[in-house]
Amino acid sequence: MSFVGVVRKDLLDVRRSNLLRGIGLLYLAFTVLFFWGTGSSGAPNMYLSLWSMTAVAVLIVPLIALVAAYLSVAGERQSGNLKFLLSYPNSRRDVVLGKLIARSIVVGGAIAFAYVVGLALALYYYPDVAVGDFVAFVGLTLLYAVVYVSIAVGLSAATGTRSRAMGGAIGVWFFLNVFWNAFPINPNTIIEFVANRLGTSVSQNLKDLVWSLSPTGAYMNSMQLVFPDSVAQQTGQATWIDPNAPFYLDGWFMLVILAAWLVIPPLLGYWRFQRADLG
Amino acid sequence: MVAIDTTALTKRFKDVTAVDELDLRIEEGEIFGFLGPNGAGKSTTINMLLDFHRPTSGSATVLGYDAQDETDAIRRRVGVLPEGMELYGRLTAREHLKLCVQMKDAADDPDAVLDRVGLNDAVNRPVSGFSKGMAQRLALGIALVGSPDLLILDEPTSGLDPNGIQEFRDLLRAEAESGTTVFFSSHVLSEVEAVCDRVGIMNEGSLVALDTIDNLREHAGSGGVVDLTLESVPDDLSLGQLAGVTDVTIDGTQLHVSCATPQAKINVIQHVDRVSTVTGIVVEETSLEDLFNEYTNGGREGSGETERAAEVIA
């Protein structure tokens, strides 16, 4: 289990990084402002607040995770740091795995800390807090964060220079976060356009699935595992409570999608990295 | 047991052949100097031994383990100072060595290692504030952790001051005495001359010489240069007829005679002494530098030297 050495080194190194401290504090600031703001106005509902909180998470978590991990392998490869790790009994697989674990701990730790503070504020301001569901929400958000760390580490392992890793990270963010779920032209409009041309139509279920295939779509739809039916109605998520919805729109299938995003990018990155000439 | 063994090891980058069918065998227990000018293929060879680069063809073993398939076993037993290794600026010297001890399950005391490489007054300083020489000392310490059976050091003396170089030589000798095989590359010839049992000279991806330094000198055929100062130079010296004399130049009363063998030098001095009055003698042995220049085509004589080099290998 020699990836432990890589994890140990990385945690020691990264905790002194001002950049990573900064983005951790940023997330804390957003969370505090959010719970303070929603909590101190009117009669707050925890679930509706958490549903709004997913929007904040979708905006910031991918950025934090990508920034925290896009240089994890490529940066060390370009500078020559990697030769320190690889001169010792650490394999290239250990490097990728160790980086994934270490950066997940850092990002996950910062997010978890922000929500501990958020939970304290919620308990203070909100009349009713379901702690179990709050923790489940945090758990899904952490999974979402780790998925993005995973994508960034995989990308970093596949590239040889800092500039390419940065280009890749920006590309990933734009593709998965802007294009897929929030752009006027997105995979669904493209599929619809093609189907129209072919003279057929696309079912709403299929479009919902396509939307959920991105980490962000899967994360938001995975919230049906946490929120009660009343929230689904209030937020207009009809499929969450539709008993006839296909399995691929169920909450558990969202976890399958997230798991795929967690595993596949690092594997592809390792596959490239493992064959690369270093320095 | 063989410490390093390469068989037709080849590395091509696009259209450049960095290492061309290299066959190299380093026995256990020796100090081996791997010489060559920049770009000769030394670092590429070492990178392949360490699995940083994948060979285009051929194979290599380190301590009997396959350099591609058994990297873990190799990294456990080898101490490495790779070319272009960068340390972690935010970590201190001691933190680096602590990590090393943990990663190798070694019994070393980080402070003792730092003391050995002369960094005992900088243990708690972040490496970002280190000079090049200090970083090199730390890198050397990192290579020593875990009592390796083999040290592979790529340009270990770069950045060291003369004092540091002397300490480094002592350290290598101490390691070799305790049974460690040392393989190190350098383009600083005096390093190699001072500590190595054997040397290999690389040029343009191929090994052009592989022998002990004494043997190399002999094979290279240039015994050295005799500089004589005469009261007056006679018209007819006929030095060119002496066996082993390769070149004669006269500069005023200065006589400059290049000789191929040690005997030729003696003959030259005796001959000149008979026909003239000698007021000053300087005899220079062929320096390793001259030798190196010959093998790598960098010397004054330039071409024609590769044939000689081929002889040495044969």
Distance from the B162 Cα atom to the nearest Cα atom in chain A, whole angstroms: 26
Tokens 């026995």 correspond to: B27
Which of B103, B124, B128 should be substituted to probe chain A, the one whose Cβ sees the most A Cβ atoms within 10 Å?
A: B103
Tokens 């243990």 correspond to: B123
The band of B267, judged by pLDDT with boundaries at 50, 70 and 90, is confident
All residues of chain A having their beta carbon less than 8 Å from the beta carbon of residue B100 are 88
Across the interface, of A5, A91, A279, the residue whose CB is closest to B52 is A279
For residues B156-164, average pLDDT: 88
Which range, of A205-219, B32-46, B296-310, averages the lowest pLDDT? B296-310
Tell me if residue B190 falls in helix, strand or coil. helix
* pLDDT score recorded for residue B278: 87
* pLDDT greater than 80 at residue B222: no
Per DSSP bridges, beta strands B150-154 and B181-186 are parallel
* pLDDT greater than 80 at residue B310: no
Structural domains in chain B? 2-217 (3.40.50.300), 223-285 (3.30.70.100)
Nearest CA in chain A to B85: A80
Tell me the C-alpha distance between A171 and B194, whole Å.
Answer: 55
What lies within 8 Å, CB to CB, of B80 at 6+ separation is A87, B50, B143, B151, B152, B153
Distance from the B54 Cα atom to the nearest Cα atom in chain A, whole angstroms: 6
* pLDDT score recorded for residue B220: 60
Tell me the C-alpha distance between A57 and A64, whole Å.
Answer: 10
For residues B250-263, average pLDDT: 82
Checking ipTM against 0.90, whether it exceeds it is no
Tell me the C-alpha distance between A172 and A48, whole Å.
Answer: 29
Asked if A278 reaches chain B (Cβ–Cβ under 8 Å), the answer is: yes
Give the containing element (helix H, strand E) for A271. Answer: helix A251-274
* pLDDT score recorded for residue B308: 39
* pLDDT score recorded for residue A6: 94
Tell me the C-alpha distance between A44 and A65, whole Å.
Answer: 30
Q: At what angle do helices B93-103 and A3-14 cross, to 10 degrees?
A: 160
Whether residue B75 and residue A279 make contact (CB cut-off 8 A), yes or no, is no
For residues A17-30, average pLDDT: 86
Nearest CA in chain B to A277: B53
Nearest CA in chain A to B140: A84
All residues of chain B having their beta carbon less than 8 Å from the beta carbon of residue A16 are 90
Q: Which of B307, B219, B227, B211 is nearest to B272 (CA)?
A: B227
Q: Give Cα A133 distance to the centre of its chain.
A: 19
* pLDDT score recorded for residue B304: 38
* pLDDT score recorded for residue B314: 37
Tens of pLDDT, residue by residue over A175-211, are: 999 999 888 899 999 999 999 999 998 898 999 999 9
Tens of pLDDT, residue by residue over B8-39, are: 999 999 889 999 999 999 999 999 999 988 88
DSSP string, A4-23: HHHHHHHHHHHTT-HHHHHH
The band of B294, judged by pLDDT with boundaries at 50, 70 and 90, is confident
* pLDDT greater than 70 at residue A52: yes
Give the containing element (helix H, strand E) for A109. Answer: helix A92-125
Tens of pLDDT, residue by residue over A27-50, are: 899 899 988 888 877 777 888 889
* pLDDT greater than 80 at residue B302: no
For residues A135-149, average pLDDT: 97
Distance from the B264 Cα atom to the nearest Cα atom in chain A, whole angstroms: 49
Tens of pLDDT, residue by residue over B94-139, are: 999 999 999 999 999 999 999 999 999 999 999 999 999 999 999 9
Give the containing element (helix H, strand E) for B211. Answer: strand B206-211
Q: Which of A232, A7, A224 is nearest to A98 (CA)?
A: A7
Distance from the B49 Cα atom to the nearest Cα atom in chain A, whole angstroms: 11
Tell me the C-alpha distance between B94 and B138, whole Å.
Answer: 9
Q: How does the average pLDDT of chain A come out, rounded?
A: 91
Tell me the C-alpha distance between A4 and A98, whole Å.
Answer: 7
Q: How does the average pLDDT of chain B come out, rounded?
A: 86
The band of A87, judged by pLDDT with boundaries at 50, 70 and 90, is very high
* pLDDT greater than 60 at residue B303: no
Distance from the A109 Cα atom to the nearest Cα atom in chain B, whole angstroms: 21
Whether residue A13 and residue B71 make contact (CB cut-off 8 A), yes or no, is no
Instruction: Kindly report the pTM of this predicted structure.
Output: 0.85
Asked if A80 reaches chain B (Cβ–Cβ under 8 Å), the answer is: yes
* pLDDT score recorded for residue A181: 87
* pLDDT score recorded for residue B307: 38
Whether residue A87 and residue B82 make contact (CB cut-off 8 A), yes or no, is yes
* pLDDT greater than 80 at residue A53: yes
Whether residue A83 and residue B86 make contact (CB cut-off 8 A), yes or no, is yes
* pLDDT score recorded for residue B298: 57
Which range, of B191-195, B214-218, B310-314, averages the lowest pLDDT? B310-314
Nearest CA in chain A to B88: A81
* pLDDT score recorded for residue A143: 98
